[in-house]
Amino acid sequence: MNRQLSDNCVDFINDDDISKLIASASEDEVRVREIIAKSMEKQPLTVEETAVLLAADSDELVEELFDAARELKKKVYGNRIVIFAPLYIGNKCINDCTYCAFRRSMRSTVRKTLNDDELFGQVAALEDAGHKRLILVFGEHPDYTPEYIADTVKQVYKVKSGKGEIRRVNINAAPMDSEGFKIVKDSGIGTYQIFQETYHHDTYNVVHPAQTHKGDYLYRLDGLTRAYEAGCDDVGIGALFGLYDWRFEVLGLVTHSWQLFNRFGCGPHTISFPRIRPAHGVELNDEYAVSDRDFKRLVAILRLAVPYTGMILTARETPEIRREVMEFGVSQIDAGTRVELAGYTNKDKQDERKEQFQIGDLRSLDEIMLDLIQHDYMPSFCTSCYRQGRTGEQFMEFAVPGFIQNFCTPNAIFTMAEYLEDYASDETKSAGMVLLQGEIAKLPQDKRIVVESQLKKIVNDGLRDIYM
Ligand code: SAM
Ligand code: SF4
């Protein structure tokens, strides 16, 4: 395997510096409020400022952080929530990550890579439920070359079941060399997502054995820099919470975000913050388990630290936690999720020997849509930015005045209307129509006229895939 790093690659995570920042920060009400005020002006926070927020632990200050995160989320994203589903393509893996049921030493895991028919079946099932955006997930294995991943992406785009189609395919797979990233980029992917898992070097080395590919901390840390260099300007970072001190991971994520911003003028498109889940054959160590209270704190603090970065909350969490945490700044969730290989067509009980971990939210897409609508969120399947080439630095939402009003809200309305027409249960449809009318009424008159006329084409004329 080619282990070529990016040009001028450096290890930009200094464990001592981060640990010192955490140890030296103590609760400081005045500073916390100053920093919150900066964040409310939609300015990204420095690593030092984020450390000050992490030290706020009294109930009163934590509530202030929650309130600020809620408000900032409304300012930047409104009530839209983008919906996607993960699709596991293959669970063969040459690595041995201690927390994962796909690790190579797990002999009892049933290994499977979807064949062409199975891939078609899974994608068709997802389209039949109403999905438009997928993230394809791969173990790390010589079978899953960049060419193979690119070919899988192209096949997914070709599947058309009924009125369904997948309009955006994201990837979560092992880091590649530059050539590999170029091949995958050319297949038409949206986001390339790689989680560092833990930014803490010693912990990284313990959970990723040295003789494995993933055991190379710097190659992984540098992965998304290579992706950018290869032309992928839409990348997602993440940490697996529960391996080490959650405060350290938050500062690692913010440092990584700044590193990409300083080098490429654009930070990551998304941040993910999964908590470790029980998994087949995995012994969890609770030394660094993140409590629900701390989980809420970390989500709120990340929102404040990186106001324009999308935040992804997955079905690893229960419906109750998802409902609570979503308010603090989440912009994307998965729905109707199955993490078992070929799980979208398996009506029987899930087989844990084919799953990477157990999920906490097993509700269907329609149940989640109804729940969101009832809580006044506007689910969106919009894929327009990436299809119109609106990615990277010049198209970050803050760079374009009126961006949300001109693009995001109308596109959320159109894609939600498509869902309601084609896939929703009666209950979801009637609740959704009321929400849509309310959203349209909030638009300025000129925009409202355009949106209403386009909406008629969807509802009355059966037109699909209308977007701004
Ligand atoms: N194999 C590729 C890699 O490791 O980069 C693709 C990612 S893996 C299939 C998807 C992600 O699942 C990992 O990056 C890890 O953060 C997460 N994961 C693994 N085991 C988990 C567990 N027990 N609970 C929650 N998330 C887990
Ligand atoms: Fe393999 Fe990824 Fe699981 Fe590690 S997390 S064992 S690399 S699938």
363-386 pLDDT tens trace: 999 999 999 999 999 999 987 776
At 406, the pLDDT band (50, 70, 90 cuts) reads confident
Q: Tens digits of per-residue pLDDT, 28-59?
A: 999 999 999 999 998 999 999 999 999 999 99
Q: Print burial letters for 137-166: b (CB count within 10 Å at least 16), e (below 16).
A: bbbbbeebebebbbebbebbbebeeeebbb
Contact between 143 and 90 (Cβ < 8 Å): yes
Give the C-alpha distances (Å, rounded to integers) separating 199 from 205, 254, 287.
Answer: 10, 11, 17
Write out the two tokens for 238: 């993440």
Give domain limits for the chain.
15-71, 78-363, 399-459
Give pLDDT, residue 393: 57
Q: Tens digits of per-residue pLDDT, 300-342?
A: 999 999 998 999 999 999 999 999 999 998 999 999 999 999 9
Mutation test of ligand 1: which of 92, 93, 97, 100 has the most ligand atoms closer than 8 Å to its C-beta? 100
Contact between 290 and 241 (Cβ < 8 Å): yes
- The percentage of residues in the chain with a pLDDT greater than 90, rounded to a whole number, is 81
* CA dihedral sign of residues 225, 226, 229, 230: negative
Give pLDDT, residue 403: 64
At 465, the pLDDT band (50, 70, 90 cuts) reads confident
Q: Is 282 in the pocket of ligand 2 (CB under 6 A)?
A: no
Give pLDDT, residue 240: 98
Q: Which fold has domain 78-363?
A: TIM Barrel (3.20.20)
pTM greater than 0.85: yes
* 184 sits in which H/E element: helix 178-186
Q: Print burial letters for 85-113: b (CB count within 10 Å at least 16), e (below 16).
A: bbbbbbbbbbbbbebbbbbbebeebebbb
CA-closest residue to ligand 1 atom 20: 100
Give pLDDT, residue 135: 98
What are 90's strand-pairing partners? 113, 138
At 399, the pLDDT band (50, 70, 90 cuts) reads very low
Give the C-alpha distances (Å, rounded to integers) separating 173 from 7, 215, 237, 416.
Answer: 22, 15, 12, 29
How many angstroms does the Cα of residue 166 sit away from the middle of ligand 1? 23
Q: Are strands 378-380 and 80-90 parallel, antiparallel or unpaired?
A: parallel
Q: Is 89 in the pocket of ligand 2 (CB under 6 A)?
A: no
Q: At what angle do helices 246-264 and 47-54 cross, to 10 degrees?
A: 160
Mutation test of ligand 2: which of 1, 94, 102 has the most ligand atoms closer than 8 Å to its C-beta? 102
